[in-house]
Amino acid sequence: MKFVKMHGTSNDYIVIDARDVSADWRRLAQVMCNRHTGIGSDGILLVTSSSSAQIKMRMFNPDGSEAEMCGNGIRCLAKFVLDRGICSIEDGVLTVETLSGIKTIQVTWNGDQVTQVRVDMGYAELNPSRIPVNIEDGTTPTLDYPLTVEGIDLVLAFVSMGNPHAVAFIDTPVEDFPLQRVGPVVENHPIFPQRVNLSIVNTKGKDQVSARVWERGVGETLGCGTGACAIGVASRLKGFTEDYVNVSLPGGIIAVTLTNDYSVVLDGPAEEVFSGEWLDC
């Protein structure tokens, strides 16, 4: 089975053209994503056929769970299908079906290669019951929910970008936060019936934040597209930033643009690293 290794702001993926391939994808994700005995990645992306869009994306985390959406991943998938002529731009866009709906994509070319990808991520979901978060006070939006984990007091804002996010703005540097200890506890906290992604954020100005993200089913990653979107939404709702914000993550900067109704557009790079063939299918 042929694959391509790609990344968006160092959030790395194994991309497979699975239109004519059948496999136990949950098992393969666990094996292929292993950084010691496999290829190593933050997930596998499958290109599959769609009856409602030009192409469909499926994404499996390293623990074998399937994700509803992946902001960095969909940028890589767009580059993959366009660079190879699997799809072409129609009426200025590429449409991709995901478990969280159809996403519309625009790209920047350098010659015959896609270098930058702009994704219309759709509307942020702010209703706790639909994120989902099980809390007694289901105020919409919920921006200041107190949660104490591992002796650390967090104040969380809840956002879904097709997948659930909890965002905590802190005063101490994000580099010093014990994310490896706190992240898995928050991810699996009982108030999150589908688990959750956790972002720890420092505000740097009206158009700049820095963050680290613990991803559900993955662990800490160098970049997170849906996490950047959730951060952008939460920071504007709390009055920290405005309609445009650069989210600086360990792997690079992702640009997030918001509208008044909290529709979100994500801009960032997509890069191909290497290709190969996986023999154990």
Closest CA to 32 of 63, 57, 70, 76: 63
The token pair that represents 150 in the structure block? 């591992």
* Distance from C-alpha of 267 to C-alpha of 120, rounded to nearest angstrom: 9
Asked about 224 being catalytic, the answer comes back as yes
Per the CB < 8 A criterion, the answer to whether 250 and 12 are in contact is no
Residue from 33, 76, 87, 224 carrying the catalytic annotation: 224
* Distance from C-alpha of 16 to C-alpha of 60, rounded to nearest angstrom: 12
* Distance from C-alpha of 104 to C-alpha of 236, rounded to nearest angstrom: 23
* Distance from C-alpha of 107 to C-alpha of 113, rounded to nearest angstrom: 10
Residue from 33, 70, 76, 87 carrying the catalytic annotation: 70
The β-bridge relationship of strands 44-48 and 11-17 is parallel
Residue 254 DSSP code:
E
Residue 44 CB-density burial (10 A; 0-12 exposed, 13-18 middle, 19+ buried) = buried
Residues in the chain: 281
Asked about 87 being catalytic, the answer comes back as no
Residue 275 CB-density burial (10 A; 0-12 exposed, 13-18 middle, 19+ buried) = exposed
Upper half-sphere CA count for residue 146 (Cβ side, 13 Å): 2
Residues with a known catalytic role: 70, 224
